[in-house]
Amino acid sequence: MPLDDRKLKILQTIIRNYLETGEPVGSRTISKFADLNLSSATIRNEMADLEEMGYILQPYTSAGRIPSDKGYRLYVDTMMDEKNREIDELKETLLEKADKIDHLLKQAAKVLAVNTNYASMISAPNYRHNKLKFIQLTKVDKNQLLAVIVVEGNVIKNHILNLAEQLDDETLLKLNILLNTHLNGLSIDDISLSMIQTLKKQAGSYSAIVGEVIEAVGDAIKADEDLEIYTSGTNNIFKYPELADHHKASELISAFEEKRLLTELVSENGGDSTGIQVYIGNETSIQSMKDCSIVTATYELEEGMRGTIGIIGPKRMDYDKVVGVLKSLKSQLEDLYKN
Amino acid sequence: MPLDDRKLKILQTIIRNYLETGEPVGSRTISKFADLNLSSATIRNEMADLEEMGYILQPYTSAGRIPSDKGYRLYVDTMMDEKNREIDELKETLLEKADKIDHLLKQAAKVLAVNTNYASMISAPNYRHNKLKFIQLTKVDKNQLLAVIVVEGNVIKNHILNLAEQLDDETLLKLNILLNTHLNGLSIDDISLSMIQTLKKQAGSYSAIVGEVIEAVGDAIKADEDLEIYTSGTNNIFKYPELADHHKASELISAFEEKRLLTELVSENGGDSTGIQVYIGNETSIQSMKDCSIVTATYELEEGMRGTIGIIGPKRMDYDKVVGVLKSLKSQLEDLYKN
DNA sequence: GTTAGCACTCGTTAATCAGGAGTGCTAACA
DNA sequence: TGTTAGCACTCCTGATTAACGAGTGCTAAC
């Protein structure tokens, strides 16, 4: 059976309507649409076809129809006309408190949640590919060293090292020079085992410290890379009855809290050329979100320095709006970084 | 009317029973307790008295009784026998991932939530009173400085400063010496306006930078002091029907997410000598938690370096257990810090 | 191909009812 | 005087039923 123009139009109407109301939509409702001019009976015939084709389904006999996952998918892929809503306020709100990148992201997640009425998440960009700008070891105590590690993009990591033996200032200076001359300009992935060996040799009796520092460098950057996810608007899920039942809500909320699960969304690399990806219902790998839709966007501050923004809401989410807002935020983040 | 021994015993039984089941408890249930040996009729008379005195109440005519806030209060103040449950596993779990204080606290919050089945929060200790250990300015770019600020307790803060003009290495060195000789050993509260003026004068043409650095020092330490709160087990509220209704749950969850509200719990300074404080129902200032009880403990890592641990749950929470667990965690945090 | 009409389905809501848990009161008892 | 058995009464809970209405599928006419 062909999916002709009229069927498409009807499907679109069903989906649009359901997105708004969350109620199954019946044939009479659709027939009232002026640009169709068909009776409810005709619509019913078409709807029976659409159901047979799997685009819509009936929650129970003699109820209206709701879109199936397949229906949503078609809508998202071909019929959606993205609303280019302005969220310029975003930029202002973002800049206000954005002294540090984590504040910025926290704030962005909040703005996103408030603007869409869905739950939002943002993962911090990953720094693996960033090059080391410099490393600095400083004594903080008789046998404690502070390692400050600065990476491109001015990401700063600190690490305290406990020493077995004391270090004099001269040795410390030498170590600093040694580390900087060899490591600067490299990314984590670039630091090879053989290089570590060479460095250790050159450090002589202090090879242990070099090992520790390099390990710290790796740790500092890798460590929470998959954990730094900021969420906001969790309580928005209560606005949608289909998600608000105890069991589902509880599972969803613990997924947000755990964050570990959310990293799965981040790891997938972003869909089409715009970096926007839409998961509908079971398309996501997160079990507790099978009644949700998830829209993610990948932002890239610098070559290889990517993070993910995501919106989690009911399947009947306003895809048009969400995609628009995500794209806008994505480009704003990227712009903001350039300055 | 006097609150004699028998009335107390009955009240205690009602509360204990209600804590367990969450159901109103009737006279027959109580009469079955062996150590009372009274008929349900007698109990009924006593219960009528207790209700008149305000310690218990009836949700509706001819239902059993539940404790009132006043009843809970009496229980917590005089009848509770704190369970000294061992949570030694706590220590092990804590140590596992505890490379940094924020990880430690995050982990502690989780352990707390898992152990109690309530929601938990931990605020990071406040550093206002800690003394500066050292400040270090480093060039990261032509016109960017990195300020690393280390405070007692090895709390490290970073701050990037944008410069209008370039600095040569020598001036930088001088600035570093200047800042360290004057500021080391002082706490944020110690840094007075007059001292800032003196420093600026001494810095000569670079007074602007000194101003910025000092501001940064203040910012870095103050900034998120009232925001660094870690929560866990939010979804536990769904385990208690009296909190799980949509409206309440939504409000509670947004309170947890906002964290701003939670700071009110932190600001109160901790009750009795053990630092444990219990808020029952309306005793808390947080509107959305009027159906909850909150138990907080203040931990003190060092003179003036205090933080707060808290448990939020239904009024019928297992106070005995919660107080025990909090005390244990408190002392473990304090011990852990000493090493 | 479209549409009006109609019987039918089935979820929703409200009303009704039985059951039971628990109470307060009274009267008898030790 | 304090305790207890008995009993009528209240009111929540859960199940059942009934009315309602939205929506459907099918048929027959246009």
Q: Do A217 and A271 lie in a common domain? A: no
Q: Which nucleotide is nearest to B14 (CA to C1')?
A: C22
Number of folded domains in chain A? Answer: 3
Q: Do B288 and B200 lie in a common domain? A: no
Check CB contact under 8 Å for A253 and B235: yes
CB of B148 within 8 Å of a chain A CB? The answer is: yes
Could you say which of A45, A62, A79 is where a domain stops? A79
Could you say which of B176, B197, B222 is where a domain stops? B222
**CATH assignment of the domain containing A60:** 1.10.10.10
Q: Do B277 and B264 lie in a common domain? A: yes
Q: Do B109 and B171 lie in a common domain? A: no
**CATH assignment of the domain containing A331:** 3.30.450.40
Of residues A134, A148, A235, nearest to B254 (C-beta): A235
User: Can you give the pTM of this predicted structure?
Assistant: 0.87
Decide: B70 and B54 in contact? Cβ < 8 Å.
Answer: yes
Q: pLDDT per residue over B47-84, tens digit each?
A: 999 999 999 999 998 889 999 999 999 999 999 887 76
Pick the residue from chain B with its C-alpha nearest to A228: B103
> For residue B35, what are the domain limits?
5-79
Q: Do A188 and A265 lie in a common domain? A: no
**CATH assignment of the domain containing B199:** 3.30.390.60
Q: Do B104 and B40 lie in a common domain? A: no
Of residues B99, B158, B231, nearest to A156 (C-beta): B158
The tokens describing A25, both together, are: 């939509």
pLDDT per residue of chain A (339 residues) written in tens, 0 to 9: 789 999 999 999 999 999 999 999 999 999 998 788 999 999 999 999 999 999 999 998 888 999 999 999 999 999 987 776 555 555 655 554 445 677 788 888 998 999 899 999 999 887 777 788 888 888 887 878 888 888 777 777 777 777 777 888 888 888 889 888 888 888 777 777 778 788 888 877 777 777 777 777 776 666 555 568 999 999 999 999 989 988 899 999 999 998 888 988 877 665 667 789 999 999 999 999 999 999 999 998 877 788 899 999 999 999 999 999 999 899 888 887 776
Q: pLDDT per residue over B260-305, tens digit each?
A: 889 888 776 656 678 899 999 999 999 999 999 999 999 988 777 8
Q: Do A237 and A119 lie in a common domain? A: yes
CA distance B338 to chain A (A): 15
pLDDT of res. A96: 47
pLDDT per residue of chain B (339 residues) written in tens, 0 to 9: 789 999 999 999 999 999 999 999 999 999 998 788 999 999 999 999 999 999 999 999 888 999 999 999 999 999 988 776 555 555 555 554 445 677 788 888 998 999 899 999 999 887 777 788 888 888 887 878 888 888 877 777 777 777 777 888 888 888 888 888 888 888 877 777 777 788 888 877 777 777 777 777 666 666 555 568 999 999 999 999 889 888 899 999 999 998 888 988 877 665 667 889 999 999 999 999 999 999 999 998 877 788 899 999 999 999 999 999 999 899 888 887 776
Q: Do A36 and A60 lie in a common domain? A: yes
Within 8 A of B148 by CB-CB distance, chain A residues are: 136, 138, 146, 148, 158
Within 8 A of A154 by CB-CB distance, chain B residues are: 140, 144, 146, 160
Q: Do B43 and B119 lie in a common domain? A: no
Q: Do B49 and B93 lie in a common domain? A: no
Q: Do A120 and A256 lie in a common domain? A: yes
Q: Do A30 and A112 lie in a common domain? A: no
Decide: A117 and A316 in contact? Cβ < 8 Å.
Answer: no
